[in-house]
Amino acid sequence: MSRPCIHPSILNADFANLQRELGRIRTADAVHVDVMDNHFVPNLTIGLPVVKSLRAATELPIDVHLMIEDPDVWAPQYAELGCESVTFHAEAAQAPIRLARELRAQGARSAMALKPATPIEPYLDMLGELDMLLLMTVEPGFGGQSFLDLILPKIRRARAAVDDLGGEIALQVDGGISAETIARAAEAGADTFVAGSAVYSAADPEAAIAELRALAG
């Protein structure tokens, strides 16, 4: 398994001062940007214009998580903006293999997310099309939720499938990741961790990142 990667989510940042907030996480491996459309999930956040501004405001890789309908239409546009990683939801994509290939063709890492109740087994044959698999450890749509331990067996199955494939596929978890939960997710096989309130609610976000990275290791 690769070195643990910490991707702070700006969903918990100060939206009135996003450039400053990006400067508080310079030691992160990437910045996680949640795009929600109030259709696929019951929340509305940001879209292409704001992400374009974020891309210009930081040298950190941008890991965009699209919790939206019609990702087949929208996801490639985020890759065109220069987002290094673009995640679409399996539950929303009409043609996930084609979409994954299109994202790679645009130069982005292709990533697919699964909600907590969505089984991984129907998607095992397409793992080779992905650079990252995201397993939601809360119901998508809002920050600050509690980590769902019932996802741990799913993380273990995903880890085994990724290892069997022998590829360099990151296994990301998102939701309720904190100093209290990250070790359990890492033990199950996750190697990439989205953390929102655990980072941005800390007095020193970069110290929080270092602590999470150490606990995951």
Distance CA 33, CA 62 (A): 7
- Please state the residue numbers annotated as binding site for substrate: 9, 65, 141-144, 174-176, 196-197
125 catalytic? Reply is: no
Q: Check if the beta carbon of residue 91 is closer than 8 Å to that of residue 115.
A: yes
3-state secondary structure of 108: coil
What number of CA atoms fall less than 13 Å from residue 157's CA on the CB side? 12
Domain residue ranges in the chain: 5-216
17-24 mean pLDDT: 96
- pLDDT, position 170: 97
pLDDT range class, residue 92, cuts 50, 70, 90: very high
The one catalytic residue among 37, 63, 174, 191 = 174
- In one-letter notation, the amino acid at residue 24 is R
Which is more confidently placed, 7 or 42? Answer: 7
Distance CA 185, CA 152 (A): 7
- In one-letter notation, the amino acid at residue 67 is M
Distance CA 47, CA 66 (A): 9
The one catalytic residue among 34, 63, 131, 191 = 34
Instruction: Using a pLDDT cut of 70, give the percent of the chain over it.
Output: 99
Distance CA 167, CA 195 (A): 25
What number of CA atoms fall less than 13 Å from residue 83's CA on the CB side? 32
Architecture of domain 5-216: Alpha-Beta Barrel (3.20)
89-95 mean pLDDT: 98
Nearest 10 degrees: CA dihedral of 19, 62, 122, 167? -150
- In one-letter notation, the amino acid at residue 33 is V
- Please state the residue numbers annotated as binding site for a divalent metal cation: 32, 34, 65, 174
149 catalytic? Reply is: no
The residue among 109, 162, 108 whose CA lies nearest residue 135 is: 162
Q: Check if the beta carbon of residue 211 is closer than 8 Å to that of residue 179.
A: yes
Other beta carbons less than 10 A from residue 186's beta carbon: 20
Handedness of CA 124, 79, 25, 29 (dihedral sign): positive
Query: Which residues partner with 172 through β-bridges?
Result: 134, 192
Q: What is the pLDDT of residues 121-139, one digit of tens each?
A: 999 999 999 999 999 999 9
Q: 3: which DSSP letter?
A: P
Contacts of 117 (CB under 8 A, 6+ apart): none
- pLDDT, position 3: 86
- pLDDT, position 147: 94
Query: Which residues partner with 113 through β-bridges?
Result: 89, 134
82-111 mean pLDDT: 98
- pLDDT, position 23: 96
